[in-house]
């Protein structure tokens, strides 16, 4: 390249610390201004895209759902209808054409290998099984950890037995992680070799979420049956 | 302005990145996204245009500020400038399509460390005027997009039998799955490097 040879090593004046601080500080301010403008300009659209993605994910994890309604679980373990995000844990109820409840979609969040992983899973109160799982957000390593977002890992969740124990306080068999190839029961998650941390993270967040939310769903299933 | 001895025309500044100094096929820079996201044509175009946008904006800004940046902190300043525009692109792609955002994955953020961009800031924009730097950046960016596109067309057509997601080779075509997997990136890149070096050698032989 011609540019690199034309570089002259002139005995330039040694710039003081002030020049460096001024440059870096000034640049950081310009950068902040540009970022704030870009963030403001795109915030609404990104939010709409995310809601759209969640809507589609709800239909994907509840087989047979045609319409959906949003509920929220509050801190006291109660359930209320919610039009938009108002702070509680969302529960999406899915109904078929006749308005019968076919399942609910629940969210789970946990720390993965890269960043926080957010998933949505379908649950059938009638069959007491998980009916599907979709990863909404993950920054797992491409080629390794990102296999949690693909088949065959997702096949683990097509009919996972999470039946509640006799006093309805938690699933009888907590969801557990097993090494790849060692899965014998439907509540076990067949790990991915090469992505142990990511697949363990999914197992942990699902176990916590099912232990917390399934008893609530069980207690309020009649409220969910009615289309709001 | 002390520029290179024989000041090249605007057009040749622009065309240089596209062909004679193509960042991928001639300088073999930016190999990481070249190998990673070229499995579909759409990914290639999105990645190429995102990098082009970052390249043009950061080159223009670096060139504009080139007389204020002390040389001890120049790399740090360039990185801040590049990272700013990468974040802008990151937001923009999320706003356009979350699906596209998911399929490009971490490679959008990784444009920050794409050596083509830092290389142009250091080798060209810090020594040339705003207009020339932007032209050079546009040429390099489009050259990068062109190279990604060349890889993407081959990989998607033979690897999944489609182009831009539309099936074109019919259902009787058995996809060469290897081509959309990482090793396929190396095979196709090697093939294109071979083709381009043959073309260049022929051109050189004709000149002499």
For an interface test with B, the pick among A31, A47, A54, A194 (most B C-beta atoms closer than 10 Å) comes out as A31
For an interface test with B, the pick among A13, A36, A38, A60 (most B C-beta atoms closer than 10 Å) comes out as A38
Residue A29 forms contact with B (CB below 8 Å): no
Nearest CB to B91; choose among A3, A30, A42:
A42
pLDDT at A15 over 60: yes
In this prediction, the answer to ipTM > 0.85 reads: no
Give the pLDDT score at A84. 62
Give the pLDDT score at B83. 95
Residue A33 forms contact with B (CB below 8 Å): no
A111-154 pLDDT, tens digit each: 988 889 999 999 998 888 999 999 988 888 767 888 888 888 88
As to burial, measured by CB atoms within 10 angstroms (0-12 exposed, 13-18 middle, 19+ buried), residue B14 is buried
Centroid of chain to Cα B120: 12
B106-165 pLDDT, tens digit each: 788 889 988 899 999 999 999 999 999 999 999 999 999 999 999 999 999 988 888 888
User: Which residues lie below 8 Å from residue A118, measured CB to CB, with a gap of 6+?
Assistant: A107, A108, A109, A135, A136, A137, A138
User: Which residues lie below 8 Å from residue A176, measured CB to CB, with a gap of 6+?
Assistant: A187, A188, A189, A203, A207
> Which conformational region is residue B70 in: left (phi greater than 0), alpha (psi within -120 to 50 degrees), or beta?
beta
């Amino acid at each position: 390249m011609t540019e690199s040879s034309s570089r002259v090593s002139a005995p330039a004046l040694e710039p003081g610390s002030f020049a460096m601080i001024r440059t870096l500080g000034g640049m950081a301010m310009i950068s902040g201004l540009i970022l704030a403008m870009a963030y403001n300009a795109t915030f609404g659209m990104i939010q709409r895209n995310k809601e759209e993605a969640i809507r589609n994910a709800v239909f994907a994890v509840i087989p047979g759902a045609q319409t959906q309604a949003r509920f929220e679980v509050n801190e006291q373990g109660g359930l209320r209808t919610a039009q938009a995000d108002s702070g509680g844990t969302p529960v999406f109820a899915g109904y078929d054409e006749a308005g019968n409840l076919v399942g609910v979609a629940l969210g789970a969040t946990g720390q993965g290998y890269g960043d926080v992983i957010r998933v949505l899973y379908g649950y059938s109160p009638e069959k007491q099984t998980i009916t599907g799982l979709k990863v909404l957000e993950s920054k797992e390593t491409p080629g390794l950890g990102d296999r949690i977002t693909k088949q065959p890992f997702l096949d683990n969740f097509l009919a996972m037995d999470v039946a509640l124990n006799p006093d309805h306080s938690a699933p009888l068999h907590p969801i557990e992680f097993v090494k790849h190839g060692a899965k014998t029961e439907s509540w076990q998650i067949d790990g991915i070799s090469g992505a142990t941390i990511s697949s363990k993270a999914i197992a942990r967040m699902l176990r916590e979420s099912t232990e917390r939310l399934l008893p609530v769903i069980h207690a309020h299933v009649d409220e969910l049956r009615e289309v709001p | 302005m002390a520029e290179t001895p024989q000041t090249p025309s605007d057009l040749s500044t622009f065309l240089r990145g596209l062909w004679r100094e193509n960042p991928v096929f001639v300088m073999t820079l930016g190999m990481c996204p070249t190998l990673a996201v070229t499995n579909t044509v759409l990914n290639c175009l999105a990645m190429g245009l995102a990098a082009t946008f970052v390249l043009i904006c950061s080159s223009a800004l670096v060139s504009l500020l080139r007389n204020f940046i002390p040389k001890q902190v120049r790399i740090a300043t360039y990185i801040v400038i590049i990272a700013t525009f990468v974040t802008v692109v990151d937001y923009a792609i999320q706003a356009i399509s979350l699906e596209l955002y998911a399929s490009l994955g971490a490679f959008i953020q990784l444009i920050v460390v794409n050596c083509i961009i830092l290389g142009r800031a250091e080798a060209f924009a810090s020594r040339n005027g705003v207009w020339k730097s932007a032209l050079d950046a546009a040429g390099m960016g489009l050259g990068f997009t062109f190279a990604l596109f060349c890889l993407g067309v081959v990989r998607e057509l033979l690897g999944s039998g489609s182009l831009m997601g539309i099936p074109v080779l019919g259902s009787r075509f058995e996809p060469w799955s290897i081509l959309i997997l990482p090793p396929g990136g190396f095979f196709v890149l090697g093939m294109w490097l071979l083709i381009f070096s043959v073309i260049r050698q022929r051109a050189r032989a004709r000149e002499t």
